[in-house]
Amino acid sequence: MAKRQVMFTFPAELIKEPIIYNLGHKFKVVTNIRRADVTENRGWVVLELEGEEADIEQGIAWVTNKGVRVDPVIGDIVEG
């Protein structure tokens, strides 16, 4: 089993969709929310995904395809 810590950023049109719920149901991935801030037109969620490496990858690809931006929770690490 692997764990991945990520940040999802949702555009306005996806705020009302149960994306995280669906992620947990469509893929064998456990979603564990740690921090979040969602307003009417924007939202972000910091969460940990747990599952097999391949399932996590497929889950992230599906979420990205939906229009959610997925970033590592520790930010960009390629520094100047």
Ligand X SMILES: Cc1ncc(COP(=O)(O)O)c(C=O)c1O
Residue type, 13: E
11-30: contacts with another protein (CB under 8 A):
none
Match 């990858």 to its residue by tokens. Answer: 57
> What token pair was written down for 1?
């089993």
27-56: contacts with another protein (CB under 8 A):
34-35, 37, 42, 44, 46, 48
Residue in 5, 17, 21, 52 binding another protein, rule: CB under 8 A: 5
Does 71 help bind another protein (rule: CB under 8 A)? yes
Does 9 help bind another protein (rule: CB under 8 A)? yes
Q: How far apart are CA 52 and CA 80, in angstroms?
A: 33
Closest CB 32 distance from another protein, rounded Å: 10
20-79: contacts with ligand X (CB under 6 A):
79
Cα Rg of the chain, angstroms: 12
The closest alpha carbon to 45, from 2, 78, 77, 14, belongs to: 14
